[in-house]
Structure 1
Amino acid sequence: MRRNLLNLIHGYYLEAFSRLPPGLLRATLAHGVLVGGHCFGRLRPPHNIIVNAVWYAAAFPHPAATDDGDGGDDVRAVLPTDGIARICHRSLEGLVAALRHYCPSVSAADALYHLMDANADLGSAIALANGTSKSSALRVMAPRNLVAFQLAAEAARHPNPAAFAHFASALPTINAKNSLLQHLLINYMLSPGNIDHLTNVLVPELPDEPPLPPPTIRPRVLDCISSQKQQFKDTGRRVLDVVNMASQHYTLQTGEQLVLHSVSGASLVNEEEEGLSNCYYQINFLANRKYPDSALGFPVVLFTEATVLAHDEICINLCVIVDPAKEIVSCFA
């Protein structure tokens, strides 16, 4: 049951990634999603992810990695697989904690069943647990939101549970909420302007506080951080090489051109067979179809597997579009 829920939640994160503008996703929003973009709240799970991530990225800005002129921006298109898995697990823990606060008689096991039946939608799960409609459940939630969201954020290890609880419980008044929902529903593919609008709605007045002094870091730690960053870049470039070859492979097969949006999962599998060591890349990535008039379609999820041969030669075994709800090769399988 947990695995099924995690796969469902994983699909919501893929939907959220596909709706965010690639440039902002790579610059700031990926951090917002992977650290503070939990899927629980008063909206649908994908909308909660987007709203929570935009709010967190604006309220607690993280210094964006600067492009060092050596493909740094491209490498940031590779989202860390462990980071996606971590936020999915933590979101599930938060959902269970919130549901059990609203419905104290529900056991942890029953909470999973209600969440599965409700497609990981907190309001719908509460309605199922209480045998009421979702609108009634939302009314029941209202006076208990502050405590529930604090407990959820603590269970999900949110960096600032108290701030999140105040944000999520007050989000926003009913008229503003309708406007916010309309904005999210009308604009499936969010532009930088749409993100600016959401930021202004969610964080109308950013705190004007003096910057904190930079922490003192020992040279040995700096060397370690630098080494890890370089390793991530090297791995990211290899993944991008595979994805670019896979996109070309897909174009040759279908005649459709692809424009990379982001890489949402990558693993290197080693297999021993008859004394030979074979390496396979298995990668999920999002890409837009490019039409003859240069217009871009909605992002689709693709899966590719590639064999790494001698001298780092790469052979694409397959590259296909998948349905995230049914066929995604997930980090929870």
Structure 2
Amino acid sequence: MSPPVKVSKILGARCCLPPAAVKLLARLLRASISLGADRKKKRKRGELTPRNTESVEWKPGMHGTFRHTQTLKLLLLGKIHGFYLEALARLPRDGLRKLHYCSLIKGGYCYGPMDPVSNIIFNTIWYGTAFPMHQDFEFDFQVDMICTRTLMRIECCSLYGIVAFLRARFSSLSEHDALWHLLLANVNLRLAMEMVEQSGFLIGGTDLDAYKKAAVDSWHSDPDALVKFTTLSLDIEPTKLSHMLTQTLNDSTVEHLAMLVSKSSSTKSKEHTLLLNEVSSCSEILNENQKKLIPAIRRKFKADQDFYVRKVNAALNKFSQQKGVDYELHIICGVNPKVTEGSTAFLFKKRFKYEYFHINFLAAPKGSDTATTPRELFFAECTNGDKDEEERPSLCFPVLCSSIDDTRCFCCEHNGIKIVHPFFETYNGRRDDFQEMASGRQDVLIQTIISRYEFEVDGMFTLKEDWIYFDPNMDGKIAQMNPIPDWARKVREWGRIF
């Protein structure tokens, strides 16, 4: 048996590797594999000629630098995702479901004068105060689910904003160097600036110029307003403000912070104020199909949200019975509805039927003091149907926000969706496909998964979910660039919203 085949058999084991197997694996990897012997062998007719691997020489250049930069981006996006999960956990449940969900995905950036989580919360509160949703477009139901793609996009916008800030302050700083220092500083902007200076880069420009560049590069709807907001002198000490934001917030604290922001001078730019004065009704922005699409797609969103909430509550009740503590849902913060049972190699035979979905949500014990009891992040694997729950029982486990990159899932990575998975538990997507890839039985290559994941995660573009959160005060360009010729067909083709 050849060494590569031996390695594949060891790695393909469906259990933890014993010490003897690890030692054998190390010995096989240290052994030199003779490629010349294979070339001297007499080949049969029709047998493929092996590639001349000895002549392939890696040369450093632009491609290598690009790959390293992309790797840094993905690592930072994983960290930033953890910060947003922490911010969602600190915001009060009622306020989050009624108001803050929209402010967070539109203006809750992680850059600012404080730590990333505090910046997310404070920017979310400010955005909701400065740019309240048009009263005709307010939701008539409570939101229990943040759409997965919109959360991923604000995370990506935050990353590009914070990189733009650093490069505006340090003109000779490359994108790669900015990402590297942010990784070392755990995405803390002020700490990253100190590290960049210590590395010998000369500082230049002002904070105002840097915030303006960050706001533009992160797609802020009113960059000038953000610059004005950074110069506000609120009636509260910075240390006290930072301490307030590092705690689990209640509704009264959020209202107090919103009042402090609203008491300050108006932060809207003159251009945006003029635009709001011109927009007296949605008829000036939306065509007839768009007017019908928005309420229809919100009804569909509520129906799909109710499906996930029902499944999560059932899984959470099962977990509560096992632990003896009743838990209450806080918010759903990530869904992948395309999870197969076993390997995806035979997905076409099942007519691309996905039996399960993976989901992250935050929950807390019922009746607990929100000021002292933090919300916990959970992972659940539930069936996509309503009639096969007994055949396919759900899984539910608590997970850590910081473990986003600790475990892998073929289904979630292949669909470009960030879900935090449990480290010690078994779930669909953890083993089968990766084992088949290692043994050569899976057609999908690791490069394909990485490329797909990069495209979905590292992406700033308009989403179809934007119609769910549409606000004519802020989203006129979305309506202008997406005319929607047939609203009913758009709804039919949408699929389940997640």
Amino acid aligned to 1:181: S
Amino acid aligned to 2:213: L
Q: 2:377 matched to 1:318?
A: no
**Could you give the per-residue CA deviations for residues 112-152 of structure 1, whole angstroms, max 9, x where no partner exists?**
100000001111111111118xxxx9xx79x7111100100
Quote the offset at 1:220 in angstroms: 2.0
User: Secondary structure of 1:220's match?
Assistant: helix
- Out of 216, 240, 244, the position equivalent to 1:179 is 240
Counterpart in the other structure of 1:49: 120
- Out of 84, 91, 101, the position equivalent to 1:30 is 101
Quote the offset at 1:176 in angstroms: 2.7
Counterparts of 2:262 and 2:297, CA distance in 1: 33
Counterpart in the other structure of 1:145: 207
Q: 2:191 matched to 1:191?
A: no
Counterpart in the other structure of 2:303: 234
Counterpart in the other structure of 1:284: 360
Amino acid aligned to 2:147: P
Contact 1:79 1:263 in 2 (8 A): yes
Q: Pairwise CA RMSD of aligned residues?
A: 2.7
Question: TM-score normalized by structure 2?
Answer: 0.59
**What does 1:61-210 align with in structure 2 at a 5 Å threshold?**
61-63=132-134, 68=140, 72-73=141-142, 76-131=143-198, 144-168=206-230, 170-172=231-233, 176-185=237-246, 188-205=247-264, 207=266
User: Secondary structure of 1:325's match?
Assistant: helix
Counterparts of 2:146 and 2:171, CA distance in 1: 37
Question: TM-score normalized by structure 1?
Answer: 0.86
Counterparts of 2:403 and 2:210, CA distance in 1: 32
User: Secondary structure of 1:320's match?
Assistant: strand
User: Secondary structure of 1:147's match?
Assistant: helix
User: Secondary structure of 1:165's match?
Assistant: helix
Contact 1:278 1:309 in 2 (8 A): no
Counterparts of 2:116 and 2:289, CA distance in 1: 42
Contact 2:339 2:357 in 1 (8 A): no
- Out of 257, 264, 267, the position equivalent to 2:336 is 267
Note closer, same or farther for the CA distance 1:125–1:321 as it changes in structure 2 (3 Å cut): same
Counterparts of 2:95 and 2:308, CA distance in 1: 21
Counterpart in the other structure of 1:221: 290
Note closer, same or farther for the CA distance 1:205–1:125 as it changes in structure 2 (3 Å cut): closer
Amino acid aligned to 1:94: G
**What does 1:14-29 align with in structure 2 at a 5 Å threshold?**
14-29=85-100
- Gap regions ≥5 residues in structure 2: 1-71, 419-452, 454-498
Q: Bigger CA drift: 123-132 or 43-52?
A: 123-132
Counterparts of 1:172 and 1:250, CA distance in 2: 47
Contact 2:337 2:384 in 1 (8 A): no
Note closer, same or farther for the CA distance 1:223–1:256 as it changes in structure 2 (3 Å cut): same
Q: 2:382 matched to 1:306?
A: yes
Contact 1:28 1:62 in 2 (8 A): no
Contact 1:289 1:298 in 2 (8 A): no
Contact 1:245 1:316 in 2 (8 A): no
Counterparts of 2:96 and 2:235, CA distance in 1: 28
Note closer, same or farther for the CA distance 1:194–1:174 as it changes in structure 2 (3 Å cut): closer
Contact 2:162 2:189 in 1 (8 A): yes
Counterparts of 2:236 and 2:280, CA distance in 1: 40
Q: Bigger CA drift: 306-315 or 11-20?
A: 306-315
- Gap regions ≥5 residues in structure 1: none
Amino acid aligned to 1:166: K
Contact 2:234 2:264 in 1 (8 A): no
Amino acid aligned to 2:253: N
Identity, in percent, stands at 29
Quote the offset at 1:264 in angstroms: 0.6
Counterparts of 2:380 and 2:339, CA distance in 1: 16
Q: Bigger CA drift: 266-275 or 88-97?
A: 266-275
Contact 1:249 1:316 in 2 (8 A): no
Note closer, same or farther for the CA distance 1:225–1:118 as it changes in structure 2 (3 Å cut): same
Counterparts of 1:48 and 1:310, CA distance in 2: 40
Amino acid aligned to 1:265: G
Contact 1:59 1:206 in 2 (8 A): no
Quote the offset at 1:63 in angstroms: 3.8
Note closer, same or farther for the CA distance 1:11–1:123 as it changes in structure 2 (3 Å cut): same
Note closer, same or farther for the CA distance 1:174–1:109 as it changes in structure 2 (3 Å cut): farther
Counterparts of 1:107 and 1:183, CA distance in 2: 35
Counterparts of 2:235 and 2:196, CA distance in 1: 24
Q: Bigger CA drift: 88-97 or 238-247?
A: 238-247
Quote the offset at 1:307 in angstroms: 2.1
Counterparts of 2:170 and 2:154, CA distance in 1: 24
Amino acid aligned to 1:5: L
Counterparts of 1:66 and 1:131, CA distance in 2: 48
Contact 2:93 2:330 in 1 (8 A): yes
User: Secondary structure of 1:159's match?
Assistant: coil
Note closer, same or farther for the CA distance 1:270–1:12 as it changes in structure 2 (3 Å cut): closer
Amino acid aligned to 2:294: I
Q: How many residues align?
A: 316
Quote the offset at 1:196 in angstroms: 1.5
User: Which structure is higher in strand share?
Assistant: 1
Counterparts of 1:126 and 1:287, CA distance in 2: 36
Quote the offset at 1:81 in angstroms: 0.6
User: Secondary structure of 2:375's match?
Assistant: strand
Counterparts of 1:206 and 1:225, CA distance in 2: 33
Contact 1:285 1:303 in 2 (8 A): yes
